[in-house]
Amino acid sequence: MKIAEIFQQKKPISFEIFPPKGELSTESFHATLSALSKLSPDYISVTCSAGGSGGRERTAVLAGSIRKDYGIESCAHLTCINSDEQMLCEDVQRLHDAGVENVLALRGDVIPGSTARVFRYASQLMRRLQAEGFCMGGACYPEGHIECADPEEDLRHLYEKQEAGASFFVTQLFFDNTCFYRFLEKARGIGVHIPITPGVMPILSKAQIERMIFTCGASLPSDIIRILYRYENDPDSLRKAGIDYAVRQIRDLQAHGADGIHIYTMNRPQIATDILEGLR
């Protein structure tokens, strides 16, 4: 089923996973999928290594397996910045072979030394994929993409992705809902009308947060800083407080009518389980 059709029926709860390193069909990974599928998400998206080679076939295989073996709709991420035309054609063929219907079309991050560059921007990839029949989603950034100095310009590029065929957007993680609400208002104001699903990642450790801030530039509300300070040396309490924060964040987003919720599970089904239980 196309994710655009799911959005016509409901506000989906979706999960994100990443392909495991090493042997693909490890028992533990399928245990992860099995546990996640019991939570009945509306779809599961599978990330894709931004490298032009190595490991990319796993995304298609896993996205296909989620549909076929677990009966849950899937979405395969696809990046383009480090690929040439042939690599892209191979990626697309793998997605078709695996029976994947939904693709999150992304630019990806530049790998130092890579010169492939079939496309420079996600909107170009989307135009290229239009003829392939996928339902396409795209990424968006409530606090602006880290490389773009001007948030208004970033929004114009978001609009271009809708024009290029995107049917839905999923946001980068954020901790401050007011950033999302401001962004949403501006996006709607310039004519972005497709669903925009907020992406939520619970805090689990100080190191994880430091990495996230550095790579995506998410700002930290004082509540998060207090949690990190208070439980710095108490990982169990930090995890619990992180889940509680994510539950409160999601409740607030739902109360504001958010177009679904996307949970970054970090391949830990217990995180998704605890969040969904907290929401009940």
Size of site (CB under 6 A) for ligand FAD: 23
122 contributes a contact to ligand FAD by CB under 6 A: yes
Identity of the residue numbered 51: G
Edge-to-edge order in the sheet of strand 74-79: 196-197, 166-171, 135-140, 102-106, 74-79, 43-46, 13-17, 261-264, 199-200
Residue whose entry in the numeric block shows the structure tokens 């993409």: 145
Under the binding rule (CB under 6 A), the answer on residue 70 touching ligand FAD is no
Smallest CA-to-CA distance from 64 within 56, 76, 53 is with: 76
State the Cα angle at 137 between 29 and 105, rounded to 5°.
75
16 is catalytic: yes
Map the footprint of ligand FAD across residues 24-53, applying CB under 6 A: 47-48, 50
Decide: is 127 part of the binding site for ligand FAD (CB under 6 A): no
Contact residue for ligand FAD among 56, 107, 128, 239 (CB under 6 A): 107
> Candidates 3-11, 60-68, 104-112, 184-192 — which segment interacts with ligand FAD by CB under 6 A?
104-112
81 neighbors 139 (Cβ within 8 angstroms) = no
Given candidates 77, 94, 128, 239, which one binds ligand FAD under the rule CB under 6 A? 77
Residues 6+ apart with CB under 8 A from 118: 80, 83, 84, 85, 87, 88
Q: What is the amino acid identity at position 129?
A: L
Per CB under 6 A, 154 contacts ligand FAD: yes
Min dist. Cβ of residue 275 to ligand FAD (A) = 17
Binding status of residue 172 toward ligand FAD by CB under 6 A:
yes
> Which residues sit at the interface with ligand FAD, rule CB under 6 A?
47-48, 50, 77, 79, 104, 106-109, 121-123, 139, 145, 147-148, 154, 157, 161, 170, 172, 199
Q: Among all residues, which ones are annotated catalytic? A: 16
